[in-house]
Structure formats: C-alpha cells, structure tokens
Chains A and B, each alone.
Chain A
Amino acid sequence: MTQLVLEQLLNGLQFGLMLFLIASGLTLVFGIMDMINLSHGSLYMGGAYLGAAAAQASGSFVIGLCAAMLGMAVIGIVLELLLLRRLYLRDHLAQVLATFALILIANDLVRMIWGPQPLMLNPPAALAGPVELFGFSYPAYRLLIIAIGLAVALLLYLLVSHTRVGMWVRAGAANRTMAECMGVDVRWLFTGLFALGAALAAAAGTLLGPLLAVQVGMGENILILAFVVIVIGGIGSIRGALVGALLVGVVDTLGRALLPTLLRAVSAPEVAGHLGPALASIMIYLLMAAILFWRPQGLFPARA
C-alpha cells in the first residue's frame, strides 16, 4: 500500500509539474493583460502534434521537443501580433468569443493536417524502461519529466524573481498602468511572454504525448484544469501556479488511484470504479470554488 501511495505521489508530482508548464504562461497572460485566453489549450495540443510529427520525421525525441517549442513560440508571436493584441482592451466576452473561435480553428486545422486518428509518440528509447527507486521500479521517462518540470520551475523562478525582465513582469502583474507609467513597454513584454507561454505549453504537450494520447480535443480537458490551477494559486502569480499545479496534480492523481480502492470497501466494485475518478475531479472543483468563495484573490495574490 505504501508503495502504491508513493508511486502515485510521484505520478501526481509529474502531472502537477506538467500542469505548471501550461498554467504558468496562462497565469501571466491572465494576470498582466486581464485577458481570458481559452485557446491556451490549443497551444498545448499544437505543441504535442508538432512534437510528435517532428519526432517521427527525425527519429529523435529531443529534436521533436525543440521543434515543438520553437514552432509554437513562433505561432504564439504571430497570434499575439495579429489578433490577441487587439483584444486586451475589449471586454471578457469578446475575448471568450475570439479565443473560443481559435479552439474551433485549431481543432479542425490539426484534423486537416494530421487526420482524425491520434498520433503515436514514443518516449526516447534510452528511457523506455523502468528504474529501481526506493525498492520499487518506476518508469524512467516519468522521472525525466519530473526533472524537466523542476528545472523549468527553477528557471522561471530565477527569471521572474532575479532578473530585470522578471521585475517588469511582476510590476505588470501587480499594476499594469503604473508599470507603463514607469517606462515598462508592456506591449513588447507581452509578446515575449506569450511566446514563452506558448513554448512551455508546447513542451508540456510533447512531454505528456507518450503518456496521454496526442489527439484532437486534448487541449480542452487540460485547459480547464489549468484555469483551476491559476485561480487557486492567484491570477498572475508564478509561485501560486506552481503550488496550485502540484496541489491539483497530486489530488487528482491520488484521488483517481486510491478512491476506487477505498470506496470498494463501502460499495459495489463497479460503482466504486465509476465514482472514484469522478469524486477526484469534483474535489478539485470544490477546492477551486472554496478558494473563490473565501479567498478570491487566490493563495498567492499577485495584485497589490
């Protein structure tokens, strides 16, 4: 039992860190520009497809990952310059409509290019097997994801907390108008941030590709989880996104794995099998609703 819990904790950590990659870009866009971007999930999906296609073509997972990040960063810049830039000053409804339209476009574009069948993406051959860890075997590839996720979190922390650019970002998130008055070029900053967010989402898409299916609609499920993460953490806060992502990742994974077992003790097995995963999902939304109710600014408010 402890081994199962430990293994699922690692899985939760791994999923949480990937959620963090997606949520970090989203929370900055949301926090600084007060912009609801529903198409962030499409960047994640686009990254997964680009990564899978590039990995298949080149035979190298690393090349696939780099191609996905670079490609989505470029697409992110183009999107920001052509479309999103016009939406910052519009109301939330216009942003919802435009970015929902982007979801529709992205889903059909992916189907046009790669067809309706899910793509296969294999982990790097060297990491396909398990490794021995604290007395049980754990997939090496998942360990790599955890390592990459932790590295990115550290880099983002250094970038945001210890560089001049990071200072501008924090200033923009705390009070955008004031930051502009103090000479921060928020427009330029935001194009860069959006590209970074797109690249991180693409990285998450490619890294999760071998574990989840690379398919149309994969962005919609994860997008809402990413919103939950940033609302829990506090909109605009990177630290909040990390804490929120780990919380959601661990609760979701542990709940899915352990609740059916626990429920089986009190109800019929087939009922427990259905109820367990759903309860895990409900718990996450309950957590978000509770935070919104008692502490709407989130655990780590970014706005002063």
Chain B
Amino acid sequence: MTPARRGNLVEAGVLLAAIALPLILEALGEDFYIGFATRLLIFALAATSLNFIVGYGGMVAFGHAAFFGGGAYVVAFLMQAGIFSAWIAWPLAVLAAGVAALAIGALSLRTRGVYFIMITLAFAQMIYYSIVSLQSAGGDDGLPLEQRSTLAPFDLASDTTLYWVALATLAACLIALKRLAHSRYGRALAGLRQNEQRMEALGYPVDRLKLVCFVIGAGVAGLAGALLANQNGMASPTQLYWTQSGMLLVMVILGGVGQRYGGVLGALALLGLEEALGLTTEYAHFYIGLALLAVVLFAPRGLAGLAGLRAR
C-alpha cells in the first residue's frame, strides 16, 4: 500500500469516527460532550483558516480574532434585525470578514515581518474597541443570540445537528485547502514562501497573491465565528480581543505551521488538554504553558511534525 493511499484510509477512518461520535456519546449518556466536541471543530476550523494565512501564505497575522469574533457579531447583529436564516447570515459573516480583510490586508501588506505582525494587531484592536463601544452590541457583556440560526431543512436547535454541520464545514474546508495547495495558485504561494523577489521577477503579482490568501483565510474565520456564535449562544468581545488572536496562533504553531492538519491538531491538543486538566486542577493553564514550552524547545515543527504528517 502506498503512503498516499494509507493516508486516505486513515483520513476516511477518522472522518467516520467523527461522524459517529455524537451517537456514541448519546449512547454513553455523555451528551454534554457533544457541545465540547462542536467547540473543538469550530476552533479547528478557525485555526486551519489562520494556518492558511501563516503557513501557506507566509504572513504572520496577529489579528485573526477580528475576523473570527467579527463573524460571530455579524450573526448576532442580523438576528437582532430579525434575520434568523443561516443561509443568509452565515454567507454575510463570510462576506463581512472577507471585505474587512481586503481593506486591512491591502494596507498591511505594504509592511513586512514584525511590522506586519504589529499592524494586523493594530487593526484587530481597532475593531475590538469599535464593537465594544457600540451599545447596540452589548458593550463588554457581548450580544446574546435569541436562538440558534435556522438552517432549513436541518434543525440546528439540536446539538447533534450543529455538530454535524460544523464537521461538514471543517471537512469541506480541509478538502478545499488540499486542492488549493496543489493548484497553480497554491504552487505560486509555495514559491512566494521560498523567495518573494524571485517570484516577483518571474512576473507573479506577489502582493495580490498574498492578499487573496489573507482574504480567503479571513472569510473562513468569519464562517467559524458564525458557528461559534451559534454554539455559545452569544457573540462576546473576548473573541475579538488580542489574546484570542494569540490563542489561535498558538494552536497553529502547536499543531504545525503549514501542515494541512496543523490547525486541527493544535486546536484538538490545546482545548482537549484544557478540558482534561480542568477536571483535576484549577490551574490548567499553568500545565498547558509548560507543555507549550516543551513543544517550542523539543518539537520545533509542531505536533504534525512529531507525528510524521508531512502533508501540505
């Protein structure tokens, strides 16, 4: 069996297990964990979208929370205006995040390196303070959702359905990511990561290629935010704050920058560890911090690198 085929089999097996998970949890009477598993999937999606920008586009963006949290607020705002349908609200969340990223990216891409890190941070903080200042957005308390979005013909009020929707979204994004990485565009991005000047000399529109990458990543983050608002029942300002951007970046680095499953692995490891440690200690973050330090020092390529998953 070739490694590629074996990889496909593993992927199919994991997907089947993920589909069956809520049924197994229900049978075990552990329904509570369906919500937690949904959260995992949503953060895996958000981290994957950031990994696309950082790992594939080579841009260390430190303001991803703006798009992630922003998507959540779009859903909450629309619900306030009486629009409950996910078919309208979620694409609008993607669109809003994408348009914001188009503006932010166009300005930010004039800078490089640490300056890019700082300018993306600055724009994200501006969005954070703008939304916190709006009274109609609930200020520091956030904006509660009256109910979950409606996604006819599915019933999102059921936790299991929301889980499956999140899973389907994540799977679709991962497949799209794989195809994108192997497309002409993906190859151009890979070339950019290696040598930007050479690509420019070859006639590639460097900044436009990177901007498209930034916008795609942000759009997917907006979708993840829309899902998160439904899972949490609210849009909260902490999802917009810079520590959220930091957390997503930590997930990506932990999982493996530029590895196809880096975002998924990172989100799984970080949130899983948080939940498991939370059962036994009040100070879960202390031990998570130590584990992250160990990864930095001893596994520079992240968990995906440790597991030998090299796939892009």
B80-88, B106-114, B150-158, B204-212 - interface stretch: B106-114
Q: Which residues of A contact B254 (CB under 8 A)?
A: 97
Are A104 and B133 in contact (CB-based, < 8 A)?
A: no
Are B126 and A286 in contact (CB-based, < 8 A)?
A: yes
- Proximity string of chain A (96-134) to chain B, C-beta cutoff 8 Å, 1 when within and 0 when not: 111011111101110110000000000000000000000
- Proximity string of chain B (281-312) to chain A, C-beta cutoff 8 Å, 1 when within and 0 when not: 01111101110110111001000000000000
B11-19, B92-100, B243-251 - interface stretch: B243-251
Are B292 and A101 in contact (CB-based, < 8 A)?
A: yes
Q: Which residues of A contact B246 (CB under 8 A)?
A: 38, 96, 100
Using CB atoms, name the residue of chain B closest to A86: B297
8 A Cβ contacts from B36-68 to A? 54, 60, 62
Q: Which residues of A contact B289 (CB under 8 A)?
A: 101-105, 108
8 A Cβ contacts from A146-178 to B? none
When chains A and B are docked, how far (Å) is the Cα of A277 from the Cα of B312? 45
**A271: interface (CB < 8 Å):** yes
Are A36 and B290 in contact (CB-based, < 8 A)?
A: no
Chain B contact patch, size range: 35 or more
Identify B285's interface contact among A36, A86, A92, A105, CB under 8 A: A105
Using CB atoms, name the residue of chain B closest to A106: B289
Using CB atoms, name the residue of chain B closest to A92: B60
When chains A and B are docked, how far (Å) is the Cα of A90 from the Cα of B300? 9
Are A274 and B122 in contact (CB-based, < 8 A)?
A: no
8 A Cβ contacts from B119-137 to A? 119, 121-123, 125-126, 129-130, 132-135
Identify B126's interface contact among A100, A108, A282, CB under 8 A: A282
Minimum distance in angstroms from B248 CB to a CB of chain A? 11
Using CB atoms, name the residue of chain A closest to B113: A92
Are A279 and B133 in contact (CB-based, < 8 A)?
A: yes
Q: Which residues of B contact A98 (CB under 8 A)?
A: 292-293, 296-297
A56-64, A66-74, A288-296 - interface stretch: A288-296
Are B296 and A101 in contact (CB-based, < 8 A)?
A: yes
**B257: interface (CB < 8 Å):** yes
Taking each of A224, A228, A271, A286, which has the highest tally of chain B beta carbons within 10 Å of its own beta carbon?
A224
Given contacts A94-B253, A94-B300, A101-B296, are A231 and B118 in contact (CB under 8 A)? yes
Minimum distance in angstroms from B217 CB to a CB of chain A? 16
**A87: interface (CB < 8 Å):** yes
Are A292 and B118 in contact (CB-based, < 8 A)?
A: yes
Are B130 and A97 in contact (CB-based, < 8 A)?
A: no
**A238: interface (CB < 8 Å):** no
**B191: interface (CB < 8 Å):** no
Minimum distance in angstroms from B193 CB to a CB of chain A? 12
Are A108 and B283 in contact (CB-based, < 8 A)?
A: yes
**B242: interface (CB < 8 Å):** yes
8 A Cβ contacts from A191-232 to B? 220, 224, 227-228, 231
- Proximity string of chain B (161-174) to chain A, C-beta cutoff 8 Å, 1 when within and 0 when not: 00000000000000
**B102: interface (CB < 8 Å):** no
Using CB atoms, name the residue of chain A closest to B119: A292
**A138: interface (CB < 8 Å):** no
Are B293 and A83 in contact (CB-based, < 8 A)?
A: yes
Q: Which residues of B contact A271 (CB under 8 A)?
A: 135
Are B54 and A93 in contact (CB-based, < 8 A)?
A: yes
Are A293 and B119 in contact (CB-based, < 8 A)?
A: yes
Using CB atoms, name the residue of chain A closest to B126: A285
Minimum distance in angstroms from B98 CB to a CB of chain A? 20
Q: Which residues of A contact B300 (CB under 8 A)?
A: 90, 94
- Proximity string of chain A (261-304) to chain B, C-beta cutoff 8 Å, 1 when within and 0 when not: 00000000011001101110110011011001100100000000
Are A289 and B119 in contact (CB-based, < 8 A)?
A: yes
Are B123 and A293 in contact (CB-based, < 8 A)?
A: no
Are A220 and B243 in contact (CB-based, < 8 A)?
A: yes
**A235: interface (CB < 8 Å):** yes
**B33: interface (CB < 8 Å):** no
Are B114 and A100 in contact (CB-based, < 8 A)?
A: no
Are B117 and A36 in contact (CB-based, < 8 A)?
A: yes
When chains A and B are docked, how far (Å) is the Cα of A133 from the Cα of B29? 70
- Proximity string of chain B (134-153) to chain A, C-beta cutoff 8 Å, 1 when within and 0 when not: 11000100000000000000
Identify A228's interface contact among B115, B122, B133, CB under 8 A: B122
Q: Which residues of B contact A270 (CB under 8 A)?
A: 135
Are A94 and B118 in contact (CB-based, < 8 A)?
A: no
When chains A and B are docked, how far (Å) is the Cα of A107 from the Cα of B121? 22
Minimum distance in angstroms from A46 CB to a CB of chain B? 14
Are B60 and A104 in contact (CB-based, < 8 A)?
A: no
Given contacts A104-B289, A271-B135, A281-B129, are A97 and B119 in contact (CB under 8 A)? no
Beyond A38-B246, A93-B257, list 6 extra A-B contacts (CB 8 Å): A92-B114, A94-B300, A96-B250, A100-B246, A274-B135, A285-B123
What are 28 A-B contacts with C-beta separation under 8 Å? A34-B114, A36-B117, A90-B300, A92-B60, A93-B249, A94-B253, A96-B246, A96-B250, A96-B253, A98-B297, A100-B249, A100-B292, A101-B290, A101-B296, A104-B285, A104-B286, A108-B284, A109-B286, A111-B283, A112-B286, A227-B121, A231-B118, A282-B130, A285-B125, A285-B126, A289-B123, A292-B119, A293-B119
Residues of B near any A CB (own CB < 8 A) = 54, 60, 62, 107, 110-111, 113-115, 117-119, 121-123, 125-126, 129-130, 132-135, 139, 242-243, 246-247, 249-250, 253-254, 257, 282-286, 288-290, 292-293, 295-297, 300
